[in-house]
Each structure stands twice: as structure tokens, then as C-alpha cells.
Amino acid sequence: MVQIAPITTPGINDRYLADKIYGFPVGPAVIMPIKVDPKGEASKYASSYDHDMETVTPYHYSVFLEDFDIEAEYSVALHTAYYRFTFSDSNDSNIMVSMPGEAVLSIIDLNKISGFAKTSGVMNYIYMEFSKSFETSLKSENSVWNDKKELKGNNITSVVSFKIVHDEHIDVKVGISYISVEQACKNLYHEINEWDFEKIKTDARKIWNEALCKIEVKGGTEEQRIIFYTALYRSLLHMVNISEEGKYFSGYDNMIHDDNGHNFYNIDNIWDTYRTLHPLQLLIDPQCQIDMIRSYLHMFEQCGWLPQFPSIGGDLPIMTGNHTAAMITDTYLKGCQNFDIEKAYTAMKKNAMEVTMLPWVNGPLTELDRVYQEKGFFPALEKGKTEWVKEINTFERRQSVSVTLEHAYDDWCIAQIAKELSKTDDYHYFMNRANNYKNVFDERIGFMAPKTADGKWVENFDPKLSGGIGGRDYFTECNSWIYTFHVQHDIDGLINIFGGKQKFDRRLDSLFIEQYDGPKYQFLGQFPDSTGLMGQYCQGNEPAFHIPYLYNYAGSPWKTQRKVREIMKLWYNAGPLGICGDEDGGAMSSWYVFSAMGFYPVCPGKPMYDIGSPIFDEVKIDLGNGKKFTIKANEVSEKNKYIQSAELNGKPLNKPWIKHSEILEGGALIFQMGSRPNKMWGI
């Protein structure tokens, strides 16, 4: 529940290039060691820093605060942070504690402080203990200590001062809670009961090492291994377990609940994470995935729908789609079924039938949703007309084609569960809606295109540039070159409407070389999220992720092998610019984890994976219960990226995909790699 990163200069969005550190957060508080007499706002006490004097690991952080000659370090436990501040001399050694918004700080005694503040509508509580008693406690200009040694106000700041000797360190332990100050105190003493910073570092390192050892790789270059494990680390950060001693606070009904022995998870951008991150989580930690689904179902009980973006304060209606349906379906059909599937189906169906499809909006159906239900496509706004639907997010607009395509896939997912539950009428109904992608394919131009409510194609549609900023009139952050391939659930059907495999293959080729029709800066000015460009393909945005693997379906798996290697080499590295787009909660990194291992979940909801091109000599996935699945790539190298032959558990494998059940059985998938493509393998 504790996730910490330095607070850097406000307004500099590229935080790596920020020039100063303003403090270190924990719960609702910001802690900052300073060496000046405090006379004003906390923001005046920032320090410059140098990345070459900074150490960053999953379990420990340290940085030298140059303006104060102070080394700041921290490590974490589940609900607790442990800071260590080492002062180079004994003059003006202070630690500033700031609280944003309406807040309260209380001095319990001369080495303990508690407090609380409301952040994003939710109460956050802290209990803080210092390794040494402070001599004085000062206040900020906008607040006063009362007789109870309580500091109340808006954006309050307390500064505690210490008498120290040269190079002495002050340790600070902070427990956090969403339940109460008392619970924050319990969390602190339960997890960090001693003043032993090195032990906490060691314990945190052990936790992360066990998590990262779920996948063991051998071979490859040092940089590839760094990228791989960094990506795996980032993939494991996406949802936060907020259970505290068997209870959790829910922002969906603002109540405290028992977790009934299952961790309650929150914070998830399901628009992105259903594609690669949740399938990866399911593979390496299925119990965690089940608890996540149980958490989603609790959210449904508490607020009435499946959230689009769970947050501590409740649902944030971000992006498009009903993609929790994909995550639940994928988990269930891969055999992890220890959750209430009837309740899950009820929730998925309610989102599909009773909650608006409008991007970035929650609420009941609108007239546009009724067009979708009656005609099978989400209507675009006619050119020249002013938007009249009041519920629409004015910046995000309708995104009509993307909404149609993403919900067609989600409806296919719902249909699969309906079939499992013998709900025959529902199965046929949602399978019919799963074909709605065909309603926005304009055969005249060979692209997905927008239609108005009367069924007419929008005139003068340009599949590259139409739709305004981010293409948002018709698409979600990308253009039609990307979304034309957004039919994960019926790739054979998509190939058919293209006119067969050869034409489909040629369109894929064109995607990777099609240029901008003008200066690149002009294209990126309209599509700022289309980063990691290769022609019109954009690795920096998630709707493109599955596209390189579609060559497997076009009869040319060798092109998938070539393209995924090219993407990994070009758009991922071990430096500060190592990710080519918005990480979106681990989505970008989990794509790399799968692709580097050599397989990928093109369609969550189908218990199978498409084969790409592994980069390591050997990969071992720990499946639990003593089982491991091994992937070996004989003679693999930068040049030897093409699969010559393959075998699964000693038997020849001549198809470019494997079943999830075959992985769960354990055993070995062995590739023979070469420098020239075997164009007959896997066709």
C-alpha cells in the first residue's frame, strides 16, 4: 500500500528532468529534511539533486540533497515507510512534515506525530515515529498549535528540530491507513517494530526477489535482462492491495468492510491492463488475479456497476469499453474459477446493457447507446453539426468507431461466459453484437470508418488524419490505421472482409511503412499518444499491441518473428528513455515481458497464446505446486530471430500458438532458431 517516489519540481511533466526534489510522500504527508530556519511555505525548501548521486531499486532509494548536504533514504513494508536522513553537520537539522488540503497533525510526545487529511475525497491517516526526540516543534505561518498540541488548517506544515552530531542519522517510521490513526499505528508496529533500517531493506529485497523469480531467464545481453526484469517489476505494481488486518476502506460506498480472507485490490486502468498485464498476472500469480476479480465484484456490489478505472476514492470513468468482461472471461476460461461467476456475469451484462458507452462518462444509457443497441454501431456526429448530447465529455467526444469495436470485443467475451453458464439466448444475443465490428468497416476504402445515426458514412473521411486531436471524434488516441485491426476476437472474420489472407498480409505490411502525409511534428501534434512510430504502427499506445502477431493468421508467422524483434530492439532500452509511450499501469512493460519470452495473448478470453520470437536462451516460468514451464531457444541471437522448427514436450509443433493448458502442464517448448526465415513453419 506504500508506494513512494520523490516529489519533483511542479509543472515539469518529465520528472526525470526536474531540477529539484520537494519532499518524499507517505500517505497524506510529505516529509523533507532541511537545514535552514523555516520561515515560510514548504515549497521554499526544495533541494537540487544529481541522478549520478541517486540509487534506485525496487526495495531501496537514496539521493543526496545537494543544497542541504543531506543523504535521504527510504525503504518500505506493506503499509509502512522507513526513512533515514543523514545530516553532515549539526547546524539547523530539521525535518519538515507537510499535509495538503484540510488536515490535522498531533504531537503525541517528543518523538511521535499522528495526523490525517482528505485526499481525493478519502481520509488518509498516518502515525509517525522518530528515532530521536526532537528539541522543538515549529509551525507554518498559516496554522497554529492549540492547547492539545494539535495543528489544524489548510496545507499545514510542522518542522521538528534535532540536536545531532556530525554524520548522525535520524530515522523516521511512518504507518499509513485508510481506516484510522489507530490502524496506522497498528500497521507500523506490526511491520516495523525495531530501529533497523538494513533489516527492512533486506526484507523488502526478499519480497521483490521472490516475486521477480517467478520468471527466470538465461542468455540474452545484459541490457536485455535489465529491461526484462525492470519490465516485470513495473508489471507487478499495477493494482494495490489495501487490506489492513482483514479490513479495507471502500471508496465505492465510503464504508469499512471485512475482506473475508481475500486481499482487496484497487487502482487499475482496465482499458490497458486487460490486454497483457492481467494475462501475465494470471500466469505467474493466479491467486492474486482471483482476488482482484473478487475485488471488482465487491466494487460492483457497492456502487452498482463494474468500474472502468478503480481508484481509492471510487470509480473514475476513464477511457472506453467494458473491459473488465475481458479480464474476468480470460481468467475463468483459463481455469481459475474460484469466484462467483454468476455474480460476475450479472455485473458484466449490466455494464453492457444499462451503463452508457460514452468515453470518460458513467451513467445511464443515452440516445447514442440506443442507436448502438438498435443498429449495431455507435453513431458519429455529422460534419458541421454542433454536439447536442449533454452527457458527452467535451474533450474526449464520441470516439464512435473505437467504442463500437471495443464493445464488440467485450460482448464476445460476455457471450463466452453466457455459453459456459448455458444461457443460450444471451449467448446468441451477445455473439450477434460481437459482429458489430463489421458495421463500421467501409469496404469502399478498406478501413474502419464512422457512420452517422442514419447509417451514412461520414463524408471525406481520411483514415489517417480525420477525427481532430487524438482522432477523438471517431477513435481513442489512435487513427483508423490502428483501429482497423482492433478485432481480437474474430481475426478470421476480419481477414475475410479484407478479401483474404494475401490482402490482409499486404495491409499489415503497409501499416509499418505508411508515412505521415506531411511533417512528422504536424502528425504528432494531432496524435500525441501515437509514439513509438513505425509507419502508422504506434508501439507507444496499447490498441496496437496485438497487431504484429496478426501475421501468424495471415500465413506468414516469420513476419511476426521479425517485427516483434524489431520493436523490442527499437523501442525498449535500459536508459531513462526506455519506454516509448505511456506505461499505463504496467501495460507497456508487460508487452515486453511476454514478447521477450516468445509468446503473447492476442485475444484475452481465448485460452491460448500466439508465438513470436524469444530473445533468451532459456526462460523458466514458476507455475507453483512444483511445476515449471521452460522455453528454450537453441542458437538464438540478434540475427537468429527466425524459428526453424519447434517441439512441445518432445513432439513437433507446427502451429504458431500454444494453449494455456499446455503451459500449465509444465514441460518444455523448444525452438531451433536461425538467421533466415523458415517461411513454411507455422503456416
Q: What is the pLDDT of residues 220-274, one digit of tens each?
A: 999 999 999 999 999 998 889 999 999 999 999 999 999 999 999 999 999 999 9
- CATH number assigned to the domain with residue range 7-208, chosen from the 4 options 1.10.10.10, 2.70.98.10, 3.30.70.20, 3.40.50.2000: 2.70.98.10
Q: What percent of the chain has pLDDT over 90?
A: 87
Predicted local distance difference test score (pLDDT) of residue 142: 52
Predicted local distance difference test score (pLDDT) of residue 163: 86
Q: pLDDT tens digits, residue range 638-658?
A: 999 999 999 999 999 999 999
**Contact (Cβ atoms closer than 8 angstroms) between residue 303 and residue 314:** yes
Q: pLDDT tens digits, residue range 375-401?
A: 999 999 999 899 999 999 999 999 999
Degrees, nearest 5: CA angle 41-44-50: 145
User: Does residue 148 carry a pLDDT above 80?
Assistant: no
- Nearest partner of 504 among 490, 487, 486, 485, judged by Cα: 485
Identify any residues that bridge with 104 across adjacent strands, giving them in sequence order: 116, 152
Distance of CA 435 to the CA centre of its chain: 29
Q: pLDDT tens digits, residue range 468-513?
A: 999 999 999 999 999 999 999 999 999 999 999 999 999 999 999 9
User: Does residue 311 carry a pLDDT above 80?
Assistant: yes
Predicted local distance difference test score (pLDDT) of residue 564: 98
User: Does residue 441 carry a pLDDT above 60?
Assistant: yes
Average of per-residue pLDDT across 104-129: 92
Q: Please give the Cα distance from 138 to 319 (Å, whole number).
A: 45
User: Does residue 39 carry a pLDDT above 70?
Assistant: no
| Residue 595 vs residues 509, 512, 549, 591, 634: alpha-carbon distances, Å | 20, 18, 10, 6, 17
Start-to-end C-alpha separation, the chain: 47
pLDDT band, residue 146 (cuts 50/70/90): low
Give the number of other CB atoms < 10 A from CB of residue 145. 16
Predicted local distance difference test score (pLDDT) of residue 159: 85
pLDDT band, residue 89 (cuts 50/70/90): confident
What's the pTM? Answer: 0.96
Domain ranges of the chain: 7-208, 213-242+555-572+586-683
pLDDT band, residue 117 (cuts 50/70/90): very high
- Nearest partner of 174 among 253, 123, 266, 111, judged by Cα: 111
Average of per-residue pLDDT across 116-129: 93
Identify any residues that bridge with 240 across adjacent strands, giving them in sequence order: 266
Q: pLDDT tens digits, residue range 41-69?
A: 555 789 999 999 999 999 999 999 999 99
* 213-242+555-572+586-683 classified as CATH 3.40.50.720: no
Average of per-residue pLDDT across 205-214: 96
User: Does residue 346 carry a pLDDT above 90?
Assistant: yes
User: Does residue 305 carry a pLDDT above 70?
Assistant: yes
Predicted local distance difference test score (pLDDT) of residue 88: 86
User: Does residue 525 carry a pLDDT above 70?
Assistant: yes
